[in-house]
Structure formats: structure tokens, C-alpha cells
Amino acid sequence: MRSLLKLLPYMKPYRSRYAFGLFLVLIGVMLAVISPLVIKAAIDGLQKGDLARPIFHFSLALLLIGLARGVLMFKGRFTLIAASRSIEYDIRSALYRKLLSLPPSFFDRSATGDLESRVINDVEGIRMVCGIAIMLSLSSGLMTVLSLVAMFSIDATLASLSIVPLGLISLFTSLLTKRIYQESEIVQKRLAEMTTVAQENFTGVRVVRAFVQEETEVDKFRAAARAYVNANLKLSLTRGATWGMMTLLIEAGVGVVLLVGGLGILNGRLTLGEFTAFTAYQFMLSWPVIAMGWVITLIQRGAACIDRISLILEEPEEEVLGSASRNTPPKKGEIVIKNLTFRYTKDRLPALKDLSLTIRAGERVAIVGRTGAGKSTLLQLLLGHYRPDNGTIFLDDHDVNDYTRRALREEIGIVPQDAFLFSDSLAANIKFGAKSEVSSDALDRAVESSRLAADLTQFPQGLEQIVGERGITLSGGQKQRTAIARAFIREPRILLLDDALASVDVHTENEILERLDEHLNGRSCLIVTHRFSIVSKVDRILVLDEGKLVEEGRHDDLVNAGGLYAQLVKRQQLEESLKLG
Amino acid sequence: MSTIQEEEELIEKPYDWGLFKRFLGYMHPHRPVVLILVLVMLAGITIDLAAPFLIRMAIDGPVAAKDVDGLKRLAGFFFILVLLSGTLKAAQHYISNLAGQRILFDLRIQVFARLQHLPISYYDKTPVGRLLTRVTGDVENLAELFTSGLVGMLGNLLSLVLIVIAMIIIDPTMTLLTMAVMPLAILMTIQFRLHARKTYRAARRSIAAVTAYLNECLSGIKTIQAFNRQESCMQRFDEGAALYRTRSIHAGYIYSFFWPGIELITTMAVALVLWQGGNGILAKTTTFGSFIAFWYLVRKFFEPIQELAEKYNILQAAMASAERIFEILDAPTSPAPEKPDAPPEARGAIEFQNVSFSYDGNTPVLKNVSFTVKPGETVALVGYTGAGKTSVLSLLLRLYELQEGRILVDGVDVRDWDPRTLRKRFGMVFQDVFLFSGTVEENVRLGRTLTREHLDSAAKLVNADRVLNRLPERWSHQLQERGASISSGERQLLSFARALAGEPSVLILDEATANIDAETEGLIQDALERILVERTSIVVAHRLSTVRKADKILMFHKGELREEGSHEELVAQQGLYEKLHRLQFPNGKN
């Protein structure tokens, strides 16, 4: 329950709305408690034959109270609901904001579906606590107290006798709630088991078919489905018993009033009007008793949601990790790496081992090596996505970790291996890379240089074409070229191409590389590649293997050296000729 | 940045009498339970309505006549009814679930069984998650249609009718007055339903859009961070979330209106009843008992009306689910021959005659492929990624229908085989070994009637006994989901045992490319040497040792069979195979 306290800061901005809404709801509850008294007065008057006013006035009073109550309840409920929706928005926004500032290592260890559920479902669970749960617990609490006061003031004996069944309801519900909870857990477990059988069947459909397992699988599923049905039926037996017990006890309360109240009228202790009002109060009391069970479930669930969300909100942010202070972006683009060692997690082999190298400002360098050599990792570290375990990366003489993430990335443009596009227009996806608002000239230039321009005729809406989820409507090459345009339009000091042209044909690749010059204009450029067709366009080649720099130099020298580079080149030629068939 | 896109998803569907009737068909086998349910419900509602009558009798009779014994008798009778009423409520809840669960069970098994016979191509185009929803959520929705929808609505209608009858019996004039406000209640309910649905759907659309955008951002988080685009993303997210807030507040407005509104209408009816009843008492045409009983009934009268409105939405959700489920039940199953030929003697002869195949009907995967495999031969399929090797295996098992040419197994066209008889001739090892959660034994046995000795000898043959020896419970070892508790090499050994336990006349092996530790690799090679002899084997080969030992190598390239011969012959040819060989085994090793 301590988790609920964490909500207070979020509720605070809306405290006047809460006060107002709750005030209205509570007045509404009071009015509800008053109306049986009108009926009581009418009946007593009718019975004694000394009705002070025409019966019409009583009806009118009833109607007016009802009307006032209606208006108050509506306004009150709505105020509270709106407040809870606003809090929902605030928390969801805060959570999203937080997520955007967390380091990649956080996302490496969290499932996307899970995070989504936090932002969508858990925040909704919290909203239920802030809205309906608060409203119901206060209003039904007040209703209980006021009805009891009214009942006891009419006839204490009758009141004490008639609330016995209601007390029993609370007792039974609290007992049965636990059992229902346990049985629901079993139902959930059986459901999960059944789902697993089905999921494995669908995933392993080829094995099922190849080994003619269709019937065995249906039998397996039938057994799981039957276990699920049985668990459900057991639960519904308990639920049915609870339900029946509640009905029984509520009606038994009416029976007590009928007997004891009837006897009270007989010996003159009670008037008929009081008797009638009493039944009305009893009716009112049964409702909070039922509602309370629901409210408790809501609050328990909400508390769990708060705990899960707090875990995210308490995660250390990217920026804080670096405790960086340097606000000015690197302006030259010189990279010096000294004894760099890095592993993604402690239990894995180092991706980079004691790596040292220098890239001069304005230099164009290709990085090659086998899969897993650490090429992409190096770029990730340059971008400050991860922090090295040992050693330092200097950018313009300053440790990368001394820059704020913002300043560091301001002057870096990356084209990742797997270009990520948003389901938005091509233009928006390209402008995504720009540091500030850009002119349509700059946009056109980027589109032209990335050789995307030629493809535009394919799209009816040109640059305004929506690319679909993750760019699904584009070819692999088009996606990569969009990502290249995105990096070009940024005009960064340092351009990183992470095997960014793999899906682009060799001819287009050359065209793009030729246009690099216009965009580079003295900027540094690191090209991670598996293709050796581009090597003539770089100043220097770095060969990485198992996280270490093993060779560097120009293409011809490296081929002549007959080392790893020469091997890789030979292998690729073989592969190319094989592909051509 | 443009605003978040919204998409309409099919979560509701208007009534479709055809679907509904079809669903009713599933109730048919459970008629007795359904009948008992209706009777129990009817009895429960009737007994509920006895309360106001008893109160009236008590007030007008014993209370007015000061008859203490009479009052006690009536109260006693009331308590008996209370007991009955509680029991009936419990019974109703249980029986309606019983009927619902039984119907749902039948339907669920039917859907699952149907899926077992849909062609693999259906699975290729339907994500597993969606299939799962069909057998879980959608079936569940239909059960809801039965318990809450049909049964609940029937109950509401019955109470409504019985309440009106009770009212008429007690006082026709007051009944008329109550009925006077009824149009108001109905009008309000309909209006509410229309608006609530519209606003609710609008809100759902906007939260769905927020979820989609969130998903996108989480997937592209590195891109966002690398380009310092956090602010604009926040802005866009906030816009979407704010739209959801506005729309859900609007929906809240309508909900806030409904309940107090219905309560107000109830109060109007009570006020009218008080007016008319009070005058009636003054005029001695109405008794106190009738008046109080009526007051009780009026409050009950509006309950079923409110509930009916809620149930309408359940019905619509169920309609959409029903449509999706029936879609599966109506999907065409894999074709099977009308009268399959009697299976020929198992020899293990295979022949591909001018086979062409494409998964999507456009891009050819196999082009005019012909080859023969003689009984007892080991044939290795090799080729660069995407050459069509695995497709050859799939067609052989008839997991897909070929478009051109013929495939003969033991001299009979695969299309003339009962697919199940055909597949029993083969022992298949897939590239990506799939293990079910369950014991090792269940995974090797796979529902076949094989003795433990048989399993043991199969395991021994393929060195899988080494895996068993490592596991304390041996055959009874429980594998976690997708077999995560054992290494990928060990999984392969188990899948060898699985394939050979059935003593197939043809072994089909799609060699895995995954990294395997040296020790297990040794076990695998050793096992392969033993199992490939004297059994027709077709192997998609990645191991040098496998291709070297093959009687024949088929070199595929871009869907065509380009070279054919033994390892030595093909190397000497200096063609594609020789290049592939150099590429895959640069140092003459695996």
C-alpha cells in the first residue's frame, strides 16, 4: 500500500478538482440518504390521516432531490474521471520521456512488448485507482456510515439485527475472495499451458506434419483444453456460491426487517413509514458491501502497476551515467582511440580488445573485418550508446564521456546496418536527421546525393509518400538510401556508415560514394563495409579481427601483404563469381 | 512531423444472422443443459418477485390485523424463499458456465483440429500470434456471447416481462404511470449506447495509434537517440496521448451522464407512484401494502433495461470473433487424393521429373529440376543461400503443392499418396531443431507406439545416448520451452534419434549451420557416418565430410540443378561446386 503514496505527487496538481468532485459526490450521497425520509413522512402522514401537505408536494420533493442528486453525481463523477484521465496522461508522458532517455543497455535487457504494456496497460491500472477507486471507496464509505446512522436512529434493535446478514456478507466475501483469487490463478496457469501447446504446435507445424503428429497433437491440446475447462468450472462453482450467498444474505436482511419490523409495528414501536424507510436503507447498504470487493481488487492491481512503473522511472538515465559537462559539440572531427576494451555483458567475450587507432579530421577510412570483429561496436561506442570498460575514445582531444550525449551526437551522422524508418512520409524520415528546420533545397540535395531521387517517380506522392510500418513499402536499397539522405541532411562533422550500402547495387553505391565528397567537404568519415569495391575511394583501410586492429594501410599494400585483408578480398571475389553463377 | 496515424481495427461487427445461426448450431448437442438453465433462471426470477407480494400480504394482512402468528408464518415462508433464491442464483451461475464451457470446448477443439489440416502456406502468411488468438481469445469471446450475451439477455427480458406482470397484478394504474417514463428510459439507453460506442471506439483508435507509435519508438530508440530527436518524438507522443485523453474524457462524460440519468428516471417513476399511490390510499382504492410493494418493483424495473444496453456491446465483439473463427473452419485444407493408391513396397526410390515451384506464384524457387535417387543412395544437395535446396525437401514431404512436373516416391506420384502415409516413409531432421516442452522421451517418441528398447537403440545409433547420460532423469528429463536446457548440438543428436526411431525408408536431413562445440560436432559426424549407410538419404549438406561421402552431389544454383556427380568429379569440373567448396571449406576443413 506504500506504493500508493507514490501517486501523490501526480495527484497534487489536481487537488482542487479532486476536492470539488469529491465534495459533489459526497453531497449526492447525502441526498440519496435523505430521500427515504420523504417517503417515510408521506406514509406516516397518510396512515395517521393528518397529511400536512398535499401528497403532490411529497412527490415533488422526491423529484427535486432526485434531480439535484443527478446533477451533483454527474458533475462530480465527471470531474473525477477527467482528473484521473489527466493524471493518466501525465504519467504516460513522463514514462515515455523517461524511456527516451535510457541507455541502449536498458533496451537490450527489456522486451519491447513488456515496456509497451507498462506505458499502456499499467498506466491505465493506475488511472483506475486515481478515478473510480477513490470515488467508490469514499462514496460507498459515506453511504455506509449515513445509512447506518439513519437506521440506528429509527430503531437500534432492528438496525443491529438487520445488519448481521450484511456483516456476514463482508466476512464471506473476504474469505471467498482469497479462494477465488487462488482459483483464478489456476485458471490462468491452465490457460498458459493450453496456449503453450497451441503455440508449439503452430511454431513446429513442419515437424508435426513431417512426423504425422496431427492426431497426437489434437489429443494433447484436448487434454490441455479440458484441464482449462475444469479449472474454469471449479472457479465458477466458487463464484456461483459467492453470488448465491450474497443474494441469500441480502434477502435475509429483508426478511429480518419484515419479521422484526412487522412485529415492531404491531406493538407500536415502529410506524409503517419508518418500516418502509428502513427497507430502503438496507437496500442502500447492500451496494457498498458489494462494491468494496471490487475496489480492493482495483487498488491491489493498481499498486502492482505503480511498482512496475517505478522500476522504470528509477532507472539511471544515459546522461547521468556519463556525468558529462561538455556542452559544445566536437567541431574538427578527429578521433583518437586508446587501449579500448569493451564487452556488452560481463559474461560475454570482449567485443573490442585493447584497440588503439587514430582517425585524422577530414580523413575517410574504411573498416573491414569478418562478422563479429567489432566494427559496429566501435561505431556504437563513438556515438556514446555504450561506455567502454577500459581505455578512452578522444574526440577533438576530449574524452567522449565528457561530452553530453546531446553535444556528442550533434555532430555525428550515422547510417546504421538496419535502417530504421518511421511510418511517416519519406520527407519526414529524411528531415528526421536534420539539426534544425531545413530548406527544401537541402532536402532535394540530400535526396539527389543519396540517389533516392531516381526512385521518386515510383511513388505517386513523391517525397510525401508514407513508407508504411518500418518502411515496409520500400525495398532494402531504398530504405538504406533514405537513411543515407537522413545522415547527409544532418551535415555532421563525422559521418558513420555501418555497412550501409549492403542492399544497394554496386553501380548506385559508386554513385553515392562519388557524391560523398560534396557532403563531406572536409568532414571525417568512417565506412564499415563488407564490400571491397569502395576501397579506392578511401584514404585508409583498417582491418579489425576479434576486437583488435590487425592491419591498416592502402588496398594494394594490404593485398600484397597477404594477411587477413588479402584473404577476405579473395573470399569475396569467389563469392561474387559464385553469385553470378 | 505529421500526427500519429490511426487505423481502424476490426473489433466489432454488426449482427449477421448467418453467423449467429451457425453459432446456435453449437448449442444443439447441449440442449438438456441449456433447457435446465432456462428453467432455473425462470424459477429464480419468479421467486425474486415473490418478495414484494409477501411484503404486501404482511402489511395488509397480519400487520394491519395485529396477527403476530400470521406475520411469523409469512416471515418463515419468506426465509424459505430466500434460501431457494440463493441456491437458484448459485445454480444459475454454475450451469450457465457449464453450458458455455462445453460449447467453447467443442469449438476450440474443432478450430485446433482444423488448423492441423490447413496447408503450410496458410501458416506462412498468418503470424503465430494471430493463430493463438483464434483458439484462445476469439473462442473465449464466443463463450461470453453465450453466457453473458444470450443467457443474460434472455434473463433480462424474462425479468422485465415478469416485473411488468407483477406490477399489473398489484396495480394497473400505477403500472401505466411507470410505463409512462419507460420511453424516456429506452430513449436514453439507446442514445447512450450509440454515443458511448462512438466515443469509446474513437478513444480506442487513438490509444491504438499511441501504442503503435510507442512500439515504433522503442524499436528505433537508437536512431532517435543518435539523431538527438527525443524532443520532437515527445511532442508527437504527447499529441497522441493528449488526443486519447480528450477522447476518453468525452467518453467519460457520456458514462457519467448515463447512470445518474437512469437513476433520475427511476426517481421520476417513484415520485409518480407516490403521488398516485398516496391519492389512492386517501381514496381507499390502494392499500399500504400494494403501495410499498409497488415501490419495491419500480426500483427493480430499471435494472434489466440497463443491463440489456451493456450486453449489446458483448454481442458485437462476439460477432467479429465468430467471423474470424468460421473463416478458419471454412479455409480449404491441403488437398488429399480421393482414393489414394495402396502404398507401394518401401524401397526408397525417389525421382524428380521437371519440377518447377514457387511459393508466391511469381518468383520461381525451383526451375525444371530433374534427378533420381536410387534405393540406398546418399545424395547431397549443395548450393549458395537461396538456391532452392530446402524447397526440394519440402516438396518431397509434400508440405507444399508443386506447380509443374512430378515427384515420384517408390514409383508413385506424391499427389497420389495419402500425405500421411507418404510422410511416415521419411525420417526428417530439420535445420532448426524444434523440440516441444515435455520430456526427452516424448520428443523422440512423438506419439508413436515405440518400445523403450527401440528408443534406446535409436539413441545409441546416433550418439544421443551421450546426451541422455548427461541428464540425471535421462528419458524423463523435462525440456523447457523450445528445448532451451540443452545445447544446440545436443538438440541435433536428439532430432537424429527422433528421425531414425521410426525406421524410415528415406532419411531427409537438413544440416544445421549453427556453431557447435567441437566435442558434439565429433559425435554428430560419427553418428552421420553410421546413419547414412544403407539407407536412402537426402542431405542438404554443410559439412565437407558429408559431401565427400555422398554417392552423388546435386549442385543447385538459383533454383536450377546445375551440376551433378561425386565430389571428386565435381571438383575436377572446376565449376560452381568447386568454387562453393573453396568458399565453404577454405582450408579443406569444416
Q: Judge whether residue A146 has pLDDT over 80.
A: yes
Closest CA to A151 of A288, A270, A281, A289: A281
* CA dist., res. B135 & res. A218, Å (int): 13
Give mean pLDDT, residues A509-517.
78
Instruction: Please tell me the total number of residues recorded for chain B in this structure.
Output: 590
Least trusted range by pLDDT, from A77-91, A297-311, B192-206, B510-524? B510-524
3-class SS of residue B358: coil
- What was the pLDDT predicted at A350? 86
Torsion of Cα atoms, A10 then A15 then A21 then A24, to 10°: 150
pLDDT band at B1 (very low <50, low <70, confident <90, very high): very low
Torsion of Cα atoms, A514 then A516 then A517 then A520, to 10°: -170
**Cβ B214–A116 below 8 Å, yes or no?**
yes
Q: Among partner residues A65, A240, A433, which is closest to B227 by beta-carbon distance?
A: A433
**Cβ B216–A422 below 8 Å, yes or no?**
yes
Q: What percent of chain B has pLDDT over 70?
A: 94
Q: Judge whether residue B2 has pLDDT over 60.
A: no
Chain A residues lying within 8 Å of B264, measured CB to CB: 66-67, 69-70
**Cβ B263–A73 below 8 Å, yes or no?**
yes
Q: Judge whether residue B240 has pLDDT over 70.
A: yes
Least trusted range by pLDDT, from A240-249, A409-418, A466-475, B38-47? A466-475
* CA dist., res. A449 & res. B227, Å (int): 20
Pairing of strands A398-399, B350-357: unpaired
A22-34, pLDDT tens digit by residue? 999 999 999 999 9
Q: What does each C-alpha distance from A475 to A252, A254, A459, B77, B212 come to in angstroms? A: 72, 73, 12, 80, 22
- What was the pLDDT predicted at A94? 95
Pairing of strands B552-557, B560-565: antiparallel
3-class SS of residue B52: helix
Q: A248, A572, A579: which to substitute to probe chain B, counting the most B Cβ within 10 Å?
A: A248
Instruction: Could you please state the CATH topology (level 3) that the domain comprising A329-411+493-581 is classified under.
Output: Rossmann fold (3.40.50)
Closest CA to B321 of B95, B194, B149: B149
| Percent composition of chain A: helix, strand, coil (DSSP 3-state, to 5) | 70, 10, 20
Supply A353's cell numbers.
580488445
**Cβ B271–A59 below 8 Å, yes or no?**
yes
**Cβ A221–B109 below 8 Å, yes or no?**
yes
Supply A154's cell numbers.
429509527
pLDDT band at B85 (very low <50, low <70, confident <90, very high): very high
- What was the pLDDT predicted at B309? 74
- CA–CA min distance A317, chain B (Å): 12
- CA–CA min distance A509, chain B (Å): 22
* CA dist., res. A572 & res. A532, Å (int): 8
Give B111 or B362, the one with higher predicted confidence.
Answer: B111
Chain B residues lying within 8 Å of A245, measured CB to CB: 86, 90
Cβ neighbors of B473 (< 8 A, separation 6 or more) are none
Cβ neighbors of B567 (< 8 A, separation 6 or more) are B547, B548, B550, B553
In whole angstroms, how large is the CA radius of gyration of chain A? 36
Closest CA to A537 of A390, A364, A403, A296: A364
**Cβ A195–B132 below 8 Å, yes or no?**
yes
pLDDT band at B7 (very low <50, low <70, confident <90, very high): very low
A320-362, pLDDT tens digit by residue? 665 678 888 888 889 999 999 998 877 778 889 999 999 998 8
In this structure, are residues B494 and B527 in contact, taking their beta carbons and an 8 Å threshold?
Answer: no
Q: Judge whether residue B3 has pLDDT over 50.
A: no
- CA–CA min distance B232, chain A (Å): 9
Q: Which residues of B169-194 are buried (b: 16+ CB within 10 A; e: fewer)?
A: ebbeebbebbeebbeebeebbeebbe
- CA–CA min distance B518, chain A (Å): 18
Give mean pLDDT, residues B252-263.
86
Give mean pLDDT, residues A380-397.
90
CA angle B411, B415, B417 (to 5 degrees): 65
- What was the pLDDT predicted at B514? 62
* DSSP per position, A552-569: EE-HHHHHHHTSHHHHHH
Chain A residues lying within 8 Å of B291, measured CB to CB: 43
pLDDT band at B589 (very low <50, low <70, confident <90, very high): very low
A550-562, pLDDT tens digit by residue? 999 998 898 898 8
- CA–CA min distance B308, chain A (Å): 20
H-only helix segments in B49-171: 50-58, 64-65, 68-115, 120-125, 128-133, 139-144, 152-170
CATH superfamily, region A1-154+291-315:
ABC transporter type 1, transmembrane domain (1.20.1560.10)
A258-311, pLDDT tens digit by residue? 899 889 988 888 898 898 899 889 888 877 877 887 888 888 889 989 999 999
Pairing of strands A390-395, A524-528: unpaired
- What was the pLDDT predicted at B8? 40
Closest CA to A369 of A561, A555, A569: A569
Count CB atoms within 10 A of the CB of residue B76.
12
* CA dist., res. B188 & res. B194, Å (int): 10
- CA–CA min distance B109, chain A (Å): 6
- What was the pLDDT predicted at B209? 87
Mean residue pLDDT across chain B: 85
Least trusted range by pLDDT, from A86-95, A516-525, B271-280? A516-525
- What was the pLDDT predicted at A321? 60
The two most distant CA atoms of chain B are separated, in Å, by 120
- What was the pLDDT predicted at B590? 45
* CA dist., res. B20 & res. B316, Å (int): 11
pLDDT band at A393 (very low <50, low <70, confident <90, very high): very high
A430-466, pLDDT tens digit by residue? 999 888 888 888 899 888 888 888 888 888 888 888 8
* Chains A–B, number of C-beta pairs less than 8 Å apart: 370
**Cβ B275–A56 below 8 Å, yes or no?**
yes
Least trusted range by pLDDT, from A556-565, A566-575, B555-564? A566-575
Q: B275, B297, B538, B560: which to substitute to probe chain A, counting the most A Cβ within 10 Å?
A: B275
**Cβ A574–B582 below 8 Å, yes or no?**
yes
Nearest CA in chain B to A205: B120
* CA dist., res. A145 & res. A139, Å (int): 10
A329-411+493-581 matches A1-154+291-315 in CATH topology: no
Nearest CA in chain A to B3: A424
**Cβ B295–A276 below 8 Å, yes or no?**
yes
Q: Judge whether residue A312 has pLDDT over 90.
A: yes
3-class SS of residue B352: strand
The complex's ipTM works out to 0.85
**Cβ B267–A62 below 8 Å, yes or no?**
yes
Q: What percent of chain A has pLDDT over 70?
A: 99
A163-184, pLDDT tens digit by residue? 888 888 878 877 887 888 889 8
Domain A421-491 has CATH 3.40.50.300: yes
Q: A236, A267, A431: which to substitute to probe chain B, counting the most B Cβ within 10 Å?
A: A236
Cβ neighbors of B456 (< 8 A, separation 6 or more) are B465
Element (H, E) at A412: strand A412-415
**Cβ A258–B78 below 8 Å, yes or no?**
yes
pLDDT band at B340 (very low <50, low <70, confident <90, very high): low
Q: A67, A101, A205, A385: which to substitute to probe chain B, counting the most B Cβ within 10 Å?
A: A205
Q: Among partner residues A67, A225, A577, which is closest to B109 by beta-carbon distance?
A: A225
Which amino acid belongs to residue A33? V
- What was the pLDDT predicted at B162? 92
- List the domain boundaries for chain A: 1-154+291-315, 156-269, 329-411+493-581, 421-491
A42-84, pLDDT tens digit by residue? 888 888 877 778 888 999 999 999 999 999 999 999 999 999 9
Chain B residues lying within 8 Å of A208, measured CB to CB: 116
**Cβ A229–B89 below 8 Å, yes or no?**
no
Q: Among partner residues A78, A201, A416, which is closest to B252 by beta-carbon distance?
A: A78
Q: Judge whether residue B422 has pLDDT over 60.
A: yes
Closest CA to B405 of B355, B359, B367, B360: B355
Give A469 or B23, the one with higher predicted confidence.
Answer: B23
Chain B residues lying within 8 Å of A211, measured CB to CB: 423, 428, 446, 448, 498, 502
Q: Among partner residues A120, A201, A262, which is closest to B71 by beta-carbon distance?
A: A262
* CA dist., res. B472 & res. B491, Å (int): 17
**First-last CA distance in chain A:** 70
pLDDT band at B9 (very low <50, low <70, confident <90, very high): very low
* CA dist., res. B488 & res. B490, Å (int): 5
- CA–CA min distance B469, chain A (Å): 25
- CA–CA min distance B260, chain A (Å): 5
Q: Among partner residues A116, A198, A216, which is closest to B446 by beta-carbon distance?
A: A216
* CA dist., res. A16 & res. A254, Å (int): 41
3-class SS of residue A395: strand
Classify residue B534 as exposed, middle or buried by CB count within 10 Å of its CB (0-12, 13-18, 19+). Answer: exposed
Chain B residues lying within 8 Å of A284, measured CB to CB: none
In this structure, are residues A159 and A151 in contact, taking their beta carbons and an 8 Å threshold?
Answer: yes
Give mean pLDDT, residues B324-339.
81
Q: Judge whether residue A232 has pLDDT over 70.
A: yes
Q: Judge whether residue B516 has pLDDT over 80.
A: no
Nearest CA in chain B to A425: B2
**Cβ B430–A207 below 8 Å, yes or no?**
yes
Give mean pLDDT, residues B399-416.
88
Supply B518's cell numbers.
567441437
Q: Judge whether residue A506 has pLDDT over 80.
A: no
**Cβ A74–B222 below 8 Å, yes or no?**
no
Closest CA to A512 of A500, A523, A496: A500
What does residue B322 show for φ and ψ, rounded to 5 degrees? Answer: -60, -45
pLDDT band at B481 (very low <50, low <70, confident <90, very high): low
Give mean pLDDT, residues A411-432.
88
- CA–CA min distance B474, chain A (Å): 22
Q: Judge whether residue B417 has pLDDT over 90.
A: no
Cβ neighbors of B168 (< 8 A, separation 6 or more) are B175
- What was the pLDDT predicted at B586? 64
**Cβ B288–A272 below 8 Å, yes or no?**
yes
Closest CA to A106 of A98, A514, B496: A98
Cβ neighbors of B576 (< 8 A, separation 6 or more) are A578, A581, B555, B557, B562, B563
